[in-house]
Structure 1
Amino acid sequence: MSRFTRPRPTTRARTAPAARPRPDRPAGLRAAWRPFPRAAWTDVAVLSLLSLLGVLGLETSFGDYNFLVAGLGGLIVGTGIAVLGYALRLGVVTSVLAAILAYFLLGTPFTMPGEALLGVFPSISSTAGLALGAVFGWKDIVTLGTPVEAPYYMPVLPYFAAWLIALVGTMLASRWLPGRRRTVWRTGVLLIGPVLLYLTGILMGTDKTFYAGLRGVAFAVVAIVWIGWRRTKVERADAAGAARLLRRKLLGTATLVVGAVLIGALVGGVLAPETKDRFVLREEIQPPFDPLEFPSPLAGFRQFTKTLADTPLFSVTGMQPGETLRLASMDAYDGKLWNVAAADSLVNGSGSFRLVGRTIPEPALVTSSANSTVTVDVVGYEDVWLPVIGYPATVDFDDAGSQEEAETLRYNADSGTAVLTTGVEPGYEYTVNAMLQQTYRDEDLQDVPVADVTQPAVENIPDVVVAKAIEYAGTADTPIDSLRAIEQALKTKGFLSHGLASDGIPSRAGHGADRINELFTRTQMVGDEEQYAAAMALMARSLDYPARVVMGFAPDVPEDAGTVEITGTDVTAWVEVAFEGVGWVAFYPTPDQTDVPQDQTPKPKTEPQPQVRQPPRMDNEADDLLTAVEIDDTKDEDKDKDFELPGWAWIVIGSIGIPLILIGVPFLVIAALKSRRRRNRRTKGTGDERAAGAWSELADGFSELGFEVPRASSRRQVAVSLEAQLAAQLLSPDGTGEIVDAAEFVAPHRLVPVAASVDSAVFGGEQVSDEVVESNWTAALASLATAGESAGRLRRILARFRLRAKRDWSQVNLRGSRGPGTGRR
């Protein structure tokens, strides 16, 4: 029997009865139900694992693992609906609608169990949260402080992302991929979702990482091994070829795993950026709250001492003697006032306030000695700045509107300052649990340097402030001694006056450069906490010490006082300086003396002088025509500055340039390998080997252009098959594959002569000259050029970056098992 003759079915095969339906499954259900593709289960499992690795990147943003439960729930819901839709033969649109319905019905227990009815069923608030989280969660997560706990719908973000990627990936793996030839590119399409989810965990996280090296190596190994194993099928080869191919794949997999681990452990540790240099979106996006839209708290200091002096502002329960309420910390000075730094001028500076939940992030520089819990009942205070104690760890609002107030609470961890964007109003009640900065003796700080803290530059410091700082610091050789000397000089040489009618001497409000200059140039230093704290902070900054002005309330708290009433007279201001490994140490430079000594120098009496008529004033005097002109040299200064790329440019480079490099490098490697392959075939070996290399180059080139190249066939047989395909492509303008005029298929397009010439050179038994080799190569390359022109521009471009496309490796192994020379006939 010829091997091309199809055997006829036997009588038993023709008369065999049809399979009966299973008695335990109704016929209607059997007709509607179809099993999920067995090969797709592996794809779904790999995609779920890669998506889970991507979701883990959000750990630094959420802190606890509620986000992981939400992500797993999204994977389960998305995958389950996609599998069910395939099994029930639902259309794509119907399956997507069913997935959206399941998203809302099943998402509540995974994301917001506290909002669920009976712990499982969705409520109105949870349904709204599932919609809001999918739309606004992406914006909120990069503007919230970590860990993100508010708004309540934040866990919806990983749930929605995992649900969407699982749904799309499972539908592609079961509906789109099985009907097509599995290639690297088609398989790689399924990786788009998990890769985007992995990048989301990086960009929307923090500058800290969650096992970045381990997750990255695991993601790369799983993805590459999966693509490699799913690309070819071992069962198409015979036993020997299948075993050989299996051994090669196992060896390649082991080599890849070991190489990835070594590269990830060694190279990754060297190339990984430092924590402060990592690019995350939350560091580039300016928070929506801008404190500079509101007046500086220190500028309203006299309002408390005058207008609100006897007005009850707060009732505080749990406050201990010596404790203070912090209102605001200011480290920027422009010659007019102390304020917080602009949010866009200093990343994570004193003006960067981020939305936080009940749990507040810890400050970077603090040594806590104890915790304190106080309850504040707002009575007569109205502003956006929220008074807190120490460095808060949690803030709980106790009134009926606690949810709305918590969602407007923003906090700056470095400065320990909190704000309510909707404003603090009378009737608010909240409880603060905070860390208190440990106090140190001067002896303990003798050998401690000041901390390396980035602060905004102070501007327009009066010269007298710098001179007085040097004078008061004297010969002190340590930071703590210099600061104590300045503090003591201000306390002992100055006098306290709030500018009230009851004060012995007037005191002008404000802390601009003119007021600070007046403080030191008058006969006596007179002012209150506003001027003395502002002056000492400027003096410390002139000595290159990191200092800031803190404004708050320091009531006189007796022992076991219970509830303390705070009025405007309890307002105060002090200076804090950062010490390395210690924290911010407080200094109180305001003097306690209020009796200013009178100037004993008698003033000369004025005697009346006779009035003399003055000559008329001459107009258009030369001096009057001259006016001072200020020359704006900002442009010259800007020219001197080094060119810096804006933040958006780095975002574009990172989001577009890096993927282009990752995609382009493999293409360049393939092109280099092909060039090296052609050069070796053409220049290395004996004459017959180089002539045979011309045919190998032709066969591989046709294969890479998309032609079907027969394997285990003679060169003449391959040439006949390729001629037919090339003729159909050249002479079928309508795309039907029928040759219009075979006579037009002229000699330059014939491949049989090329095959005959190569066979003659290989099997002729004579030494092949260089002229014959070059002739074969010229003919082969000309045929390849013709095939490329007929294939079109797109296929020519793709062929440049394809390596032995459409080659059946099992047949190659089979040919290799027959001994040398097989297939070269």
Structure 2
Amino acid sequence: MSTATTLLRAAGAMLLTVVAAFAWWPVHADGAFVLLVCVTAPAASALALLARVRSWPAVALGGAGVALWLVLGVPLAVPSLALGRVLPTPEGLFELAAGLIEGWRGLLTIALPVGDYQALLVPVFTLVLVSALIATGAALSERWAVLAVVPPAAVLVEGTAFGASVGPAPAAQVGLGAVFGVLVVVWAAWTGTARRGNGSAPAARRSGRRPRAVPTVAVVVAGAGVVAVVAGLWFSAGPGAVRVVARDAVEPGFDAAAMPSPLSSFRAGFVADRAEAVEFMVSGVPAGTRLAVARLDEFDGVVFRVSDDDGLERVTGAIGVAPPGGSTTSEGSSTAASSSSSAAMAVQVEDYTGAFVPTAGTPEEVRFTGERAQSLQNGVYSDSELATVAVAVPLGSGDGYTLVYSPAERAAPVGRELATLTPGMPGATDPGTPDDSVVPAAVGARLAEWAPADAAPGLRLEGIVAGLRSGYVSHGQAGEPASRSGHSTARLQQLLTDSPMLGDAEQYAAAGALLARAAGFPARVVVGYVVPRPGEEGDVPGGTVAGEGAATDARGAATDASGAAMDASGAATDARSAATAAIAVRGRDTAAWVEVLTHEQGWVTLDVTPESRPVPPAVAEDDPIAVEPPRIVDPAPEPADRGTEPSVTATENDDDSPLPQTEPWWGIAAVVAGTVVALLLVAAIPFMVILLMKRARRRRRHRAPPRASAAGAWDELIDSARDHGLPPPPRATRRESALVLAGDSGGVRLAERVDAAVFAPEVPRAEQVDELWQASDRERRALGEHRSRWGRLRAALSTRSLRTYHGTDTRNG
């Protein structure tokens, strides 16, 4: 092999690996990934080339590959731990080794793209390095050159498998598959022709006949293009469509649906010893800002909770932002879409405990501070559609964080502003109207009273808000009228039938969400806090100091997230304001409200809780609007301690409560089996094309005129010999070829009979031609008698006879 050919083969193997590696782009989508691929693949190919030139044994090449992995691993795969981003460090080497083991699962449990977060670049770095080493080594071998496409193909498949359930743009995915498919075919044609060489192809050129490989390669390339398009469309599934990927088989690390509903412990914030306790200090947000803890979109008759469909995904700190209107976003879009209107707030946790992180507006990025910052940062989970953030390690005293968020563009509509709204399209965050068995009967009666069906949607929503706000507030504490806690079906039935209505934000928000859904608006309940006005929160020792430190962090987070849109002077001004406006949020600032999805403004906030005012005496029992509530057993009352939230027990899930439905095992097995069969069929298409082309060639030869058909019988034997790796001698007669290929009297007699049929004065009869074809088939079978089953299969699927010659290369006579 010449030096030029050696270099070209190494470059080809490297190119195959680079193209295949970009199947991982949707997983990382970061400049660090591009640098990794562009450095690792050439370095590994150069090492394999050096090993070939120096004739290193496989063990030496493997050891050199490990050394290269250690040298390049930290600066390329864990750049944050590299000294000067160039030299490996002990800590970086430890993370590199850990990433090789844990990185694979980490990629399946975190929102995409991940960039260069932690050590999640280690898997693709390892794959690219190993693929380039093996592919280049195979490419430089005459025997195994065609198999150099296998390692890059594995990289391509794994990149797709580790991708998102929601596919990227089909054009990009199909384009990548098509480019890789064309490269594979060109590589196979080139290396196969070269392997056949050292005689046949050069001899053909010396004899004046040009190899007719171009038409065959063109057909195979076209077939590969079709396969690539079909496979690409299947894998990509189009924007918004869901496909089966590896992450579907991994259980999420944070199951919000299995956690106790934060709304169930709402009233614990108003108990005497908790009402004045400082939950956390917040700075960077104006008074009156609503800080959401969790958005609850499913009602099961006992509590509002996060639905099973809204799984929180692990994120790197940058949180995907749902587009206006509540439409579904791609699972792969997790890069914070900061804008010039982004703001930052800082929180210092005091008595607050829980896995849900209080947030303002639409969260974009969260960064933790304090002694547990790293452990908290490594376990951040988010749902961009619910605008909810949680942590695997519950927040506690001493923790802090800064949050970059997008404030609401317009104030919550009130009064007549509601009349212009129309329902938005339900999305993934709205499971729809609950089962009638869990909706209080009084919802229909109040809906007919406050929001008649013949009214416009906005007017119906306005009537619901006005009707609920006509009630009265009581938290059931000392000095207040008796008011039961909870928001079960029975408690909401009581609220909507009592006269006057009496409850707190827990009941009013839950009832408002059910009424809005009944009126056609997708709705959910939000539980959180309302930031009090300065002076109303009381004096908190050390509040200003905590605010200053948090504000400094907020300035840094806001600057990083917003970039040029928020200049340094603006960030400094915001920080000074935050430092002087550190506000204590207490238990009594707990709140709950309703969000409804509208066509005009997306998700909008509705405050359906009445203003605090004296509660009048109850209306007499014969009042015409009073409805006798049904006798329904309530769930157990919530404990007073906010830190220990109750869980829904089996006794609370009565016969009329819907049970969670799980996918049957046979359904999952059918999907997996169908996927495997589809992949096998797609992979078998190129081999089927080869067999069909050979069958068509044989049929064409057999049906030719008698003399040409007799010659075709011999050509069929010669092509079979080529496929078995036994090319005929150049410029040889049929008899000479038979002596070399067959070496027995049968092959020689066939050559003589074919010569007689071709050159005889009389045209051979049809039965004579058929006898020649039968003799040719016997000789073809004899070529594979002493070969293994695998050898015979390789010959049947070989393209040597297709890509080089169409006919015979022997001399007649």
Alignment of 1:354 with 2:313, yes or no, is: yes
Instruction: Tell which deviates more after alignment, 474-483 or 59-68.
Output: 474-483
CA distance in structure 2 between the aligned counterparts of 1:126 and 1:396, rounded to whole angstroms? 22
Alignment of 1:554 with 2:530, yes or no, is: yes
1:474 is paired with a residue of what secondary structure? coil
Alignment of 1:497 with 2:463, yes or no, is: no
Query: What is aligned with 1:384?
Result: 355
Amino acid paired to 1:456 = P
List per-residue Cα deviations over 1:683-735 (Å, max 9, x = no partner). Answer: 331x33333333333333344445454453333333333442xx6xxxxxxxx
Alignment of 1:145 with 2:111, yes or no, is: yes
The structure 1 residue matched to 2:382, chosen from 402, 411, 414, is 411
CA distance in structure 2 between the aligned counterparts of 1:269 and 1:663, rounded to whole angstroms? 15
Query: What is aligned with 1:468?
Result: 446
Amino acid paired to 1:762 = V
2:466 is paired with a residue of what secondary structure? helix
Contact 1:705 1:791 (8 Å CA) reproduced: no
CA distance in structure 1 between the aligned counterparts of 2:497 and 2:262, rounded to whole angstroms? 26
Amino acid paired to 1:286 = E
CA distance in structure 2 between the aligned counterparts of 1:270 and 1:203, rounded to whole angstroms? 12
CA distance in structure 2 between the aligned counterparts of 1:701 and 1:600, rounded to whole angstroms? 100
Query: What is aligned with 1:305?
Result: 270
The structure 2 residue matched to 1:564, chosen from 583, 589, 602, is 583
Query: What is aligned with 2:604?
Result: 585
Q: What pairs up with 1:521-560 in 2 under 5 angstroms?
A: 521-558=497-534
1:362 is paired with a residue of what secondary structure? coil
CA distance in structure 1 between the aligned counterparts of 2:520 and 2:803, rounded to whole angstroms? 71
Contact 1:147 1:361 (8 Å CA) reproduced: no
Shift of 1:408: 1.5
Q: Decide whether aligned partners of structure 1 residues 265 and 480 sit closer, same or farther in structure 2, where only a CA change above 3 A counts.
A: farther
CA distance in structure 2 between the aligned counterparts of 1:633 and 1:405, rounded to whole angstroms? 36
List per-residue Cα deviations over 1:381-431 (Å, max 9, x = no partner). Answer: 111111111122121223243222211221111111111211101111211
CA distance in structure 2 between the aligned counterparts of 1:103 and 1:642, rounded to whole angstroms? 42
Amino acid paired to 1:328 = A
CA distance in structure 1 between the aligned counterparts of 2:91 and 2:423, rounded to whole angstroms? 53
Amino acid paired to 1:463 = A
Query: What is aligned with 1:625?
Result: none
Alignment of 1:484 with 2:472, yes or no, is: no
List per-residue Cα deviations over 1:417-448 (Å, max 9, x = no partner). Answer: 11121110111121111012222656598365
1:573 is paired with a residue of what secondary structure? strand
The structure 1 residue matched to 2:293, chosen from 327, 338, 349, is 327
Q: Decide whether aligned partners of structure 1 residues 444 and 599 sit closer, same or farther in structure 2, where only a CA change above 3 A counts.
A: closer
Q: Decide whether aligned partners of structure 1 residues 313 and 602 sit closer, same or farther in structure 2, where only a CA change above 3 A counts.
A: closer
Contact 2:207 2:731 (8 Å CA) reproduced: no
Q: What pairs up with 1:113-132 in 2 under 5 angstroms?
A: 113-132=79-98
The structure 1 residue matched to 2:147, chosen from 186, 189, 192, is 189
Q: What pairs up with 1:577-726 in 2 under 5 angstroms?
A: 577-580=596-599, 582-599=601-618, 601=620, 646-647=667-668, 649-651=670-672, 653-654=674-675, 656-685=676-705, 687-724=706-743
Q: What pairs up with 1:7-22 in 2 under 5 angstroms?
A: none
Shift of 1:530: 0.5
Amino acid paired to 1:136 = E
1:277 is paired with a residue of what secondary structure? coil
Alignment TM-score, normalising by the size of structure 2: 0.79
Give ranges in structure 2 of 5+ residues lacking alignment. 327-338, 536-576, 623-653
Amino acid paired to 2:605 = A
Shift of 1:665: 1.7
Q: Decide whether aligned partners of structure 1 residues 481 and 37 sit closer, same or farther in structure 2, where only a CA change above 3 A counts.
A: farther
2:264 is paired with a residue of what secondary structure? helix
Alignment of 1:452 with 2:426, yes or no, is: yes
Amino acid paired to 1:501 = A
List per-residue Cα deviations over 1:246-280 (Å, max 9, x = no partner). Answer: 89667887898899899989997899632222424
Amino acid paired to 2:457 = P
Query: What is aligned with 1:224?
Result: 185
Q: Decide whether aligned partners of structure 1 residues 449 and 47 sit closer, same or farther in structure 2, where only a CA change above 3 A counts.
A: farther
Query: What is aligned with 2:284?
Result: 318
Amino acid paired to 1:232 = T
1:308 is paired with a residue of what secondary structure? helix
Query: What is aligned with 2:492?
Result: 516
Contact 1:208 1:275 (8 Å CA) reproduced: yes
The structure 1 residue matched to 2:812, chosen from 800, 803, 824, is 824
1:751 is paired with a residue of what secondary structure? helix
Query: What is aligned with 1:627?
Result: none
Query: What is aligned with 2:403?
Result: 432
Instruction: Tell which deviates more after alignment, 287-296 or 239-248.
Output: 239-248
Greater relative contact order (CA < 8 Å, ≥ 6 in sequence): 2
CA distance in structure 2 between the aligned counterparts of 1:204 and 1:266, rounded to whole angstroms? 19
Amino acid paired to 2:812 = R
CA distance in structure 2 between the aligned counterparts of 1:224 and 1:807, rounded to whole angstroms? 11
CA distance in structure 2 between the aligned counterparts of 1:197 and 1:325, rounded to whole angstroms? 44
Contact 1:366 1:437 (8 Å CA) reproduced: no
CA distance in structure 2 between the aligned counterparts of 1:230 and 1:92, rounded to whole angstroms? 22
Q: Decide whether aligned partners of structure 1 residues 227 and 781 sit closer, same or farther in structure 2, where only a CA change above 3 A counts.
A: closer
Shift of 1:334: 0.9
CA distance in structure 2 between the aligned counterparts of 1:151 and 1:474, rounded to whole angstroms? 54
List per-residue Cα deviations over 1:743-782 (Å, max 9, x = no partner). Answer: xxxxxx7233333333332222113222322333333334
Query: What is aligned with 1:204?
Result: 162
Contact 2:78 2:116 (8 Å CA) reproduced: no
Shift of 1:488: 1.1
Amino acid paired to 2:313 = R
Amino acid paired to 2:319 = I
CA distance in structure 2 between the aligned counterparts of 1:532 and 1:466, rounded to whole angstroms? 16
Q: Decide whether aligned partners of structure 1 residues 242 and 166 sit closer, same or farther in structure 2, where only a CA change above 3 A counts.
A: farther
Amino acid paired to 2:345 = V
Identity of aligned residues (%): 27
Query: What is aligned with 1:241?
Result: 205
Q: Decide whether aligned partners of structure 1 residues 326 and 252 sit closer, same or farther in structure 2, where only a CA change above 3 A counts.
A: same
CA distance in structure 2 between the aligned counterparts of 1:707 and 1:106, rounded to whole angstroms? 45
Shift of 1:631: 10
CA distance in structure 2 between the aligned counterparts of 1:266 and 1:797, rounded to whole angstroms? 26
CA distance in structure 1 between the aligned counterparts of 2:404 and 2:384, rounded to whole angstroms? 14
Query: What is aligned with 2:634?
Result: none
List per-residue Cα deviations over 1:421-477 (Å, max 9, x = no partner). Answer: 111011112111101222265659836541231333534212222332343221564
List per-residue Cα deviations over 1:171-214 (Å, max 9, x = no partner). Answer: 3334xx13x3xxxxx43421122112222332223335373243
1:698 is paired with a residue of what secondary structure? helix
Contact 1:469 1:540 (8 Å CA) reproduced: no
Query: What is aligned with 2:125?
Result: 159
Shift of 1:499: 0.9
Question: Rg bigger for which structure?
Answer: 1
2:342 is paired with a residue of what secondary structure? strand
Q: What pairs up with 1:267-286 in 2 under 5 angstroms?
A: 273-279=237-243, 280-282=245-247, 285-286=250-251
2:301 is paired with a residue of what secondary structure? coil
